[in-house]
Amino acid sequence: MYRSVILLLLLCGSVAAHDMRPTYPTWRISHIPDVKVTRMELFNKRADVEWYEIGVFDVNFKPLPFVSRFRVLNIPYLTQVKFDVYVTEANSIGAEYICSISKLKASENNMPMVSSKICSRFK
């Protein structure tokens, strides 16, 4: 029994996704009137993925309008990118999550690939 538990832990430990920080971001006042901003960091732990899409969502995971330099970020393997997300003050009240979703390349071989989605929740 212990061997199967150890094997399971080893297999789970080798699964890598991407990492987004902070886990609980907060909005702060930006240099633009009636607009809030937060700074996020995204770290790519996946060798098979280089593109990540970001989004801002309400409590029901409905997308909210936001502005960032890029909505889809190119993040090479084992690198980190910092980015700012801007929303109107009205939308900052309803914003519950900032999420990043790995964007997979279409491949000709039919190997299954796992898409990962990571969300940070506003305090």
Q: Where are the domains of the chain?
A: 15-121
Q: Where are the alpha helices (DSSP H) in 69-111?
A: 89-94
Which neighbouring-strand residues pair with 72? 53
Residue 112: predicted pLDDT: 61
List C-alpha distances in Å: 93 to 18, 38, 86.
27, 13, 13
Q: Is the pTM for the entire model greater than 0.95?
A: no
Cα 101 vs. chain centroid, distance in angstroms? 6
CB 37 within 8 A of CB 27: yes
Mean of the per-residue pLDDT values for the chain?
A: 86
pLDDT digits (tens, 9 = 90+) for 1-42: 544 434 333 344 445 678 999 999 999 999 999 999 999 999
36-40, 66-70, 80-84, 100-104: range with lowest mean pLDDT: 100-104
Note the CATH architecture for domain 15-121: Sandwich (2.60)
| Distance between CA atoms of residues 74 and 5, nearest Å | 37
Q: How far apart are CA 86 and CA 27, in angstroms?
A: 9
- Share of the chain residues as helix, strand and coil, in percent rounded to the nearest 5: 15, 40, 45
